[in-house]
Amino acid sequence: MMSCLFCYLLLIVILFIDKMVDLSASLSGVKFGNPTVLPAGILGVAASSLARIASAGAGAVTTKSVGPERREGHKNPVVVAVDNGLLNAVGLSCPGLDESVEELKKAVRAAHVPVIASFYGRTVEEFGLVAERISAAKPAFIEANISCPNIEDEYGKPFGTSCELAARVVAVVKDMSRVPLIVKLTPNVSDIKNIALSVEEAGADCIAAVNTVGPGMYIDVLSAKPVLSNRAGGLSGPAIRPIAVRCVYDIYEAVDIPIIGMGGISSGRDAAEMLLAGASAVGIGTAVWTRGDGVFKEVCAELGKIMEERGDRSLKDLIGKAHC
Ligand SMILES: Cc1cc2nc3c(=O)[nH]c(=O)nc-3n(C[C@H](O)[C@H](O)[C@H](O)COP(=O)(O)O)c2cc1C
């Protein structure tokens, strides 16, 4: 009688485990408990904020981009809410490299998930120097933000708009650091496939796509002035999601390295769509402002339900499946 009951219970447990979907992800050999990632800049560089988001359920967390020197950034207002998104022009404010590295060390100790250290340089060489310094803090990845303005170029275009410059940044960074490298791409280019291919060929381990779209502008009609102190800023949030999905779809067709897809993801459906386009993990940025810290767990629960409905067992059943 007892053994029958035991067999019955065992069968129920087996059936339950069999139905469970596996949300774990693996990017360049680094394991994530789930595919959600806090993208760069959404919550600054403070270790306490990153640890809070890790505890709230993010699979990985990214610091704000740090650079070689202390930088004030733009005056307030630096963020304004627009229909279905945010416009921001923070101006790459940075507490300085020494302080950033100390904070990064604390974040690596405090967050129980992989920490991604985002950084920028004003020249190709500076990218290498900053990469070397932040790598000493032992993050799981370093992330080169090649979407920020490039002061080498007289037109002030980001490094990520030129295949040649993007590849040079990657080559220099790979020379200076052994930590796996993510390269963050801008969607503001006519052919993102070639940029992605160039960074892969130069040695990037992973791609993050996309940074903000634009720049865009929001004018206050009573004062007749642009609201952002910088006048124009980058657009994020649901308004850019179709562009981000198309970019990730294009990149997936061009490269073999994994992609962290981001841009307007705020639900399990959005995450599933990005994975189908070819992402191996998904960034959730602006939705932290609109849905709160709980968004990571909520998106995972919603994604799990969609996967159950589809009969998926793991993320592999979704990744890139929108490509025939
Ligand atoms: C306020 C704010 C600050 C940002 N700062 C950075 C940054 O420092 N470095 C970077 O690579 N991206 C930065 N981004 C871009 C985000 O990491 C992300 O790529 C973009 O917002 C798209 O994702 P989302 O629509 O989920 O927010 C920032 C975005 C926002 C809204």
pLDDT exceeds 90 at position 65: yes
The answer to whether the peptide bond before residue 187 is cis (omega within 30 degrees of 0) is: no
Calculate mean pLDDT across residues 19-44.
93
pTM attached to this predicted model: 0.93
Calculate mean pLDDT across residues 306-323.
97
And the tokens for 206?
Answer: 């992973």
Residue that wins the pLDDT comparison between 199 and 16: 199
Residue 18, domain member (yes or no)? no
CA distance 188 to 279: 19
Active site residue 148: yes
Give, in order, the Cα–Cα distances in Å from 135 to each of 60, 128, 138, 177.
Answer: 17, 11, 5, 6
Calculate mean pLDDT across residues 286-300.
96
Residue 114, domain member (yes or no)? yes
- Weakest-pLDDT range from 127-141, 157-171, 265-279, 291-305: 157-171
- Weakest-pLDDT range from 37-41, 92-96, 108-112, 226-230: 92-96
Residue 3, domain member (yes or no)? no
Q: Is the CB of 35 under 6 A from ligand 1?
A: no
pLDDT tens digits, 164-188 = 999 999 999 999 999 999 999 999 9
121-138 core/surface letters (b: 16 or more CB in 10 A; e: else): bbebebbbbbbbbbbebe
pLDDT tens digits, 87-121 = 998 877 777 899 999 999 999 999 999 999 999 99
Residue 14, domain member (yes or no)? no
pLDDT exceeds 60 at position 153: no
pLDDT exceeds 90 at position 250: yes
Residue 289, domain member (yes or no)? yes
What is the overall mean pLDDT for the chain? 91
Residue 4, domain member (yes or no)? no
Query: Mutate which of 42, 45, 120 to test ligand 1's pocket (most atoms within 8 Å of Cβ)?
Result: 42
Structurally, the chain folds into a number of domains equal to: 1
And the tokens for 72?
Answer: 């004030």
Is residue 59 within 8 Å of 188, Cβ to Cβ? no
CA distance 149 to 314: 39
Phi, psi of 146 (to 5 degrees): -95, 20
CA distance 50 to 108: 9
Question: Which atom of ligand 1 sits closest to the CA of residue 262?
Answer: 23
Question: Which atom of ligand 1 sits closest to the CA of residue 241?
Answer: 25
The crossing angle, in degrees rounded to 10, of helices 97-110 and 47-55 is 30
Atom 10 in ligand 1: residue holding the nearest Cα: 40
Residue 284, domain member (yes or no)? yes
Question: What is the reported pLDDT for 17?
Answer: 47
Q: Is the CB of 118 under 6 A from ligand 1?
A: yes
Neighbours of 242 (CB within 10 A): 12
Catalytic residue among 4, 7, 94, 148: 148
pLDDT exceeds 50 at position 154: no
Supply the CATH number for residue 110's domain: 3.20.20.70
Domain hosting residue 224, numbered range: 24-317
Residue 146, domain member (yes or no)? yes
pLDDT tier at 229, thresholds 50, 70, 90: very high
4 Cβ neighbours under 8 A, 6+ residues apart:
none
